A = this chain, B = another copy of it.
């Protein structure tokens, strides 16, 4: 006889699985209603969300204060605590962003292509929602509302995993979202969270192929890598940007100074900020002094290779690790190369395929750079900061995809949809 007493660990796990399965199945069910919702219905739900966020500011701020207390006790950095903080002004900005989504074009129902086959059968490829979008992110609670609003407008339900630091804040935000959507007549179950099940909840979400159609991780390279490794649900990778600029021999000095400064300094903590500057050796003596002086005047720490340090002794030495690092800070790795080919080789080796830019007046080099660099966005004579949904005119951004399947670069609402083929015959059999 084998021992048939239940293993309490297995029991807990199967209980967790059944609760989470139930919750994600409910999201899937809600997604079927959302897929048929009119734009007017979805816009009414978005408006209700914005209203209720403002109406329940005190409750959100109180939950956020509890998260901040816990974060301070557990030693979160000042930067992380700032990203975690919500006050009345920030909640107002989140509500405004939801109203901006109302103004966006609803992608659902668009006929992407269509034709009549020679036999008279009519085929149309029509945009449909993905279904349930899983989002895994860290620290910033505004993502909870942003992603739910964008998903809702594109007819999708969401399953959220927002990270333990913002757990109390996110719990209230999820409640507000669900209440607002229900009040407008659409199913509140379109917003689900797995936060209350911690890491096991995240793990379950990543493998819930029956109920979740896509996973979008937003956060550190480590988070994204963990999701890619663990997930069986299809993933859209976003974010990590080891972004390069190459100052070619013919680069204009004024453009070099302005664009490097803009790309590095304007907002160093975002993924389209510059991390590595490469300079052609023929232009190094001309360009590096003004470019680096301007950066240092803005507080940038220059990490330079040996040749850079000869020209600019205040630079700290680069390490091999620097070239592969997304600093997310006022640090810049700078190297000198002897040719466009050497620059292309360096970029091929260290690029995370987010954004790469060349500053040049040489047409042939510009075209080679645009053609040969493999990245979501490749630029000539422009700041890497332009890789952004708002700049590209999308109105809102789900994230910046650094992968090649489904979506590449800034993702707008259409990237939260799939298509289906509608085939209309009149008794047509295949010949």
Contact = CB atoms under 8 A, between A and B. Distances in A.
A65 to B, nearest CB: 35
A73 interface: no
A425 B379 contact: yes
Contact of A235 (B128, B234, B423, B428): B234
Identify whether the interface residues of A are mostly helix, strand, loop, or mixed: mixed
A85 to B, nearest CB: 26
Given A378-B422, A418-B404, A430-B262, A123 B392 contact: yes
B115 A393 contact: yes
B421 A381 contact: no
Contact of A421 (B232, B374, B376): B376
Given A36-B372, A372-B36, A406-B405, A426 B381 contact: yes
Interface in A365-392: 370-372, 374-383, 385-388, 391-392
B234 A383 contact: no
Nearest to A410: B421
Contacts of A35: 374
A377 B131 CA distance: 16
Contacts of A252: 427
Contact of A386 (B236, B420, B423): B423
A188 interface: no
A131 B404 contact: yes
Interface in A390-431: 391-393, 403-406, 408-409, 418-430
Contact of A419 (B236, B408, B420, B426): B408
Nearest to A348: B32
A228 interface: yes
Given A262-B429, A374-B131, A424 B381 contact: yes
A354 to B, nearest CB: 11
A259 interface: yes
Contacts of A262: 429-430
A213 interface: yes
A69 interface: no
Given A262-B430, A424-B381, A406 B406 contact: yes
A181 to B, nearest CB: 21
Interface string A110-140: 0000010100010101001011000000000
A105 interface: no
A229 B375 CA distance: 28
A197 interface: no
Given A372-B32, A387-B421, A234 B429 contact: no
Given A234-B234, A424-B381, A117 B393 contact: yes
Contacts of A382: 121, 423-425, 427-428
Contacts of A393: 115, 117
A282 interface: no
A386 B426 CA distance: 13
A100 interface: no
A38 to B, nearest CB: 12
Contact of A420 (B121, B232, B375): B375
A123 B382 CA distance: 11
Nearest to A259: B429
A298 interface: no
A350 interface: no
Contacts of A236: 405
Interface in A251-271: 252, 254-255, 258-259, 261-263, 266
Nearest to A409: B421
27 contacts: A32-B372, A117-B386, A117-B391, A117-B392, A121-B382, A121-B386, A209-B228, A213-B404, A214-B405, A234-B404, A255-B427, A258-B427, A258-B429, A266-B429, A266-B430, A357-B423, A376-B420, A376-B421, A377-B423, A378-B420, A379-B425, A382-B425, A383-B425, A383-B429, A383-B430, A386-B430, A408-B421
